Each structure stands twice: as C-alpha cells, then as structure tokens.
Amino acid sequence: LENPVVPARNALCSQKYKPVDYKHLYELAAEAKMASEKTQLKIKKTERVSKINKEQMLLKQHRQVWWQEHKRLSESRQKAEGEIKTFLDEESNKHNFFLDLRDLEQELSKERDTHQTNTVVPVWQLKESLKLKLAEMQSYLSEESCKNTEVNSVEMLQQIKFVKKQQKAVLEGLTLESLALERELEDCKANALAGSSEEKKGLFHEVPAELLSLECPFPDLKTLVICEYQELAHGYWARLQEVDQHLEVLSRNIDWKEEDQWVFQTVINQYPSDLQRRRTLYLDVLQRYLPHKSRHELVAHEKAWDHYQSIRNQRRVLLLNWAQARKAFVLRAVATAAEAAAAHEAEVVLADSRQKQLEICAELKAKV
C-alpha cells in the first residue's frame, strides 16, 4: 500500500502497471502553487499601482479645479474691494456717512494686518527656524555639538509648545467671534426674508401706479382694467404659492445638518457644469469631506437636491414670466386708455360739430 500502482495508459489495451511518483507530484504541486502566488502578487501589485495612478489622476484634476476656483475667487475679491474703495472715495466727499465707512475700512485693514503679524507670521518664522535647525543637526558630528543640539532641541520644543498654545487661544477666540457673527447674520437673514416676503406679496396684490393713475374718460373701462389685472395677479400668485409649498416640503425632507449641506453645495458649485467627469470628481471630493456619509447617501441626496434645484428654477422662471406679463399688461392698459381717450375726444369733436351744424340750421330756418 505504500507504493500503489496505477494502470499504464501508454499503449492501447495495455494491462501493465507502474508505481506513482509522489515526490514528482509534490514538486509539480509546489511549482504550481509558487507560480500561482507569484501571479497573485503581480495582480495585487498591478491593482495597487492602478489605484495609485487613479488617485494621482483624480488629485491632479481636483487641483486644476481648485486652482481655477481660487483664481476666480481672488479676482472677484480684488474686483469687489476695488469697487468698494472707489465707491467710498467718490461718496465720502458728498456724505459724512461714507467718510466714516472709509475710516472703518482702513481701521479693519490695520487690524487684519496686526492679526496676521501676531498669528501667521510667528508660525512661518518657526517653520523656517525648524528647517534651519534640522539642517544644522544633520551636520553636527562631534559629541559636544550633539550636547548643544540636545539643549537647543529642548528650547525649540518649548517654543513649539508656546506657539501651539498661542494658536489654540487665537482659534478659540476666532471661533467665538465666528459664532457670534453667524447668529447676527442669521437674524439679519430672517428679517430680510420676512421683508422680502412682504415685498413679494405686495408685488402681486398691489395695483401698479400706472393703472391707478390712468386718465380714462370711461370709469367702467378703468375698473375693468384693474379687475383684469387683479385676476391675472391672483393666478400667478396661486401658482407661486404652490411652488413655495412644494419647496417647503422638499426642504423639510432634507434631514442633513446645515454644515454638511453647506459643504455639499460648496463642493458642487466649485465644479463647472461643462467639466468632463464632473459628477465623478465632485462625488469623490464629497466622500473625502464627508466620510460619515456613504456613497448611497450622497447619491440619494444628490437626486433630492437636483429635484429641489429644479423646482427653484421653475419658481425663478415663474417670477420672470410674471414680471413680463405685468409689464405687458400695464403697457396694453395704457395703450387702451390712450385709444379710449382719443376715441372719446373724437366723439366730443364730432358732437360739437353736429351741435354747430344744428345751430347753423336753426339760424338759417329763423332767417327764412
């Protein structure tokens, strides 16, 4: 049983048997296993290289987008600052209020420079000092120099801790100021939205001054024009209310935190709509910035947000259509009133002419 035999298959209908060479079989199996392991290593290496190349390609594309966005924001900031400065310089000569604003702008600029000097500059100085110190430490060879290096390293660590502590205090102060400003802006936003809501309601329900001041010889015509305007405004207002209710429902269904929603909108807006592989790129960035959100959650929120934006676009188009319809109606009403006034004047002239003719006829009859 230690050396079983198997039928030989070399000849047709052969009944000869030969022993099994297990050692050779083990060697073949080991070679096959080793070849398989090498193949698996090559596959894993190829996958790893492919993943690294893909990551580098994505980062390269992200950098291009980020650089374009940085350039756009920098240009917008410079343009806005230039316009503000020009406006303040021109208006400060006319009103003291703008002169105070210009002084405030200069004061804020000085505070910003002082803050940068006290916070950012020390960090850069420490960075340069550390670079220089590392270069010196690499060049030290003697034991005495090493001792001096150790002492200087302790001093450097103390300096690093001091800068970290200082930066932590600065960041805490900035965070508190940021929260206070955010609350103030939220209050201003709420007041502005309340005011805009009233203005929007008045834009639909208030009769334009052009219609109220129409000089129409027929009072019924003016009343009819105003009634038709109110009916037109009521139709657009009802459609706007439906759209706003739809938006409110969609907004309630979005259960994301405000910070996550801000990141989502900011990232998507950074990538132009005509960019190739735009969706792949911004989903990749969102997964990096929002690691607590799964890809499924991101895609679901993307669909919901697209639907919300679509309804908002419908609302914007509705307001534009209403503005155009309102303007066209006012123009038609003014033209109609002008035509009515002209027709009335023609009737008056015709009536006067007939009256004169009747008077002339009466005089002629009296003479006869």
3-state secondary structure (DSSP) of residue 19: strand
368 pLDDT band, cuts 50/70/90, is: low
pTM for the predicted model, two decimal places = 0.61
Where exactly are the structural domains of the chain?
23-86, 208-368
Q: Classify each residue of 25-45 as buried b or exposed e, where b means 16 or more C-beta atoms within 10 Å of its C-beta.
A: eeeeeeeeeeeeeeeeeeeee
pLDDT for the residue numbered 19: 76
Least confident of 11-15, 223-227, 333-337: 11-15
| Encoded amino acid at 32, one letter | A
Stronger pLDDT, 193 or 345, i.e. the higher one? 345
For residues 320 and 328, is the Cβ–Cβ distance under 8 A?
A: no
Contacts of 8 (CB under 8 A, 6+ apart): 14, 16, 17, 18
Mean pLDDT of the chain: 81
pLDDT at 170 over 90: no
3-state secondary structure (DSSP) of residue 234: helix
pLDDT at 67 over 50: yes
For residues 88 and 102, is the Cβ–Cβ distance under 8 A?
A: yes
CA distances from 123 to 151, 154, 307 (A): 22, 18, 46
Rounded percentage of the chain residues whose pLDDT exceeds 90 = 17
pLDDT for the residue numbered 151: 47
pLDDT for the residue numbered 321: 93
Average pLDDT (240-261) is 87
Question: What is the Cα 201 distance to its own chain's centre?
Answer: 28
Instruction: Give DSSP secondary structure letters for 142-181.
Output: SHHHHHHHHHHHHHHHHHHHHHHHHHHHHHHHHHHHHHHH
pLDDT for the residue numbered 196: 59
**Alpha-carbon gap, residue 260 to 293, rounded angstroms:** 9
Average pLDDT (167-186) is 84
Q: What's the DSSP call for residue 284?
A: H
For residues 214 and 334, is the Cβ–Cβ distance under 8 A?
A: yes
- Of 80, 333, 53, residue with least CA distance to 208: 333
